[in-house]
Amino acid sequence: MDGLLPWLRRSGWLYGLIAVVLGLLAWRSMGDGAAERPATPPAQVSRRPDVPKVTLVHVAGAVRRPGVYRVGGDSRVIQAVRLAGGPTRMADMSRLNLAAPLADGQQVVIPSRAPVGAGGAAAGGARAGATGSGPSGPVSLSSATQADLEALDGVGPALAARIIAWRDSHGGFSSVDQLDEVPGIGPARMEALRPRLVP
């Protein structure tokens, strides 16, 4: 036993050194494994590119350059009028709702003022419209005022208000046929009004 102790004292530091080296190697291999592990890629959210909505409108009537124009999906009547070169001197902009939204395929008609003739023809024309003869040109459902609609035969204040309410809640009229969806428009009245209207 006494002969074994000096050997253990001489070889004990060797075993300790081996244990330290093995520990360092194990620690380093664990670090290398973590470094080589590929990072989890972040979840990619697939986004569809926003495609701007394009609307085609036909601008007619008292404008400098009537025609078909391409506008944004959230455009208003005033933007279509500007694209068409603006109103002419004879345009009656008070009869047009410039803030009305535009719908694809809509026709925007800019009305003209009645020419003032001898003896106050314009005033006479206004009185004739008030008695029920109606406006001389087609009425745009998407831009007509309450007074424009009431001037049509068979359209009173209540029905005109329902037409405007339907227009505001649906973003305008893209077809005259949509007037049939307004409460109070029967088949006979629809056919009577159709020649006098544009979308």
pLDDT 10s digits, 129-149? 433 444 556 888 878 888 888
Q: How far apart (Å, rounded) are the C-alpha atoms in residues 103 and 176? A: 13
User: Over 60: is that where the pLDDT of 185 sits?
Assistant: yes
Location of structure tokens 């204040």: 157
User: Over 70: is that where the pLDDT of 108 sits?
Assistant: yes
Mean pLDDT of the chain, nearest integer: 74
User: Over 70: is that where the pLDDT of 16 sits?
Assistant: no
- Name the DSSP class of 196: G
pLDDT at 124: 42
pLDDT tens-digit map of 33-77: 555 555 565 556 556 655 557 778 898 888 889 899 998 878 888
Q: Decide: 199 and 141 in contact? Cβ < 8 Å.
A: yes
Q: How far apart (Å, rounded) are the C-alpha atoms in residues 175 and 166? A: 13
Q: How far apart (Å, rounded) are the C-alpha atoms in residues 64 and 58? A: 13
pLDDT at 83: 92
Q: Domain limits of the chain?
A: 54-198
Global pTM reads 0.40
How many angstroms separate the first and last alpha carbons of the chain? Answer: 115
21 alpha carbon, distance to own chain's centre: 71
Q: How far apart (Å, rounded) are the C-alpha atoms in residues 179 and 146? A: 15
Six token digits for residue 24: 């360092």
Q: What is the CA radius of gyration of the chain?
A: 40
Strands (E) in 90-157, as ranges, are: 107-110, 139-140
pLDDT at 69: 92
pLDDT band at 125 (very low <50, low <70, confident <90, very high): very low
16 alpha carbon, distance to own chain's centre: 78
pLDDT at 197: 84
Lowest average pLDDT, out of 10-24, 29-43, 117-131, 140-154, goes to: 117-131
Q: Which top CATH class is 54-198? A: mainly alpha
Six token digits for residue 155: 């359209």
- Plot region of 82 (φ>0 → left; ψ -120 to 50 → alpha; else → beta): alpha
pLDDT at 11: 58
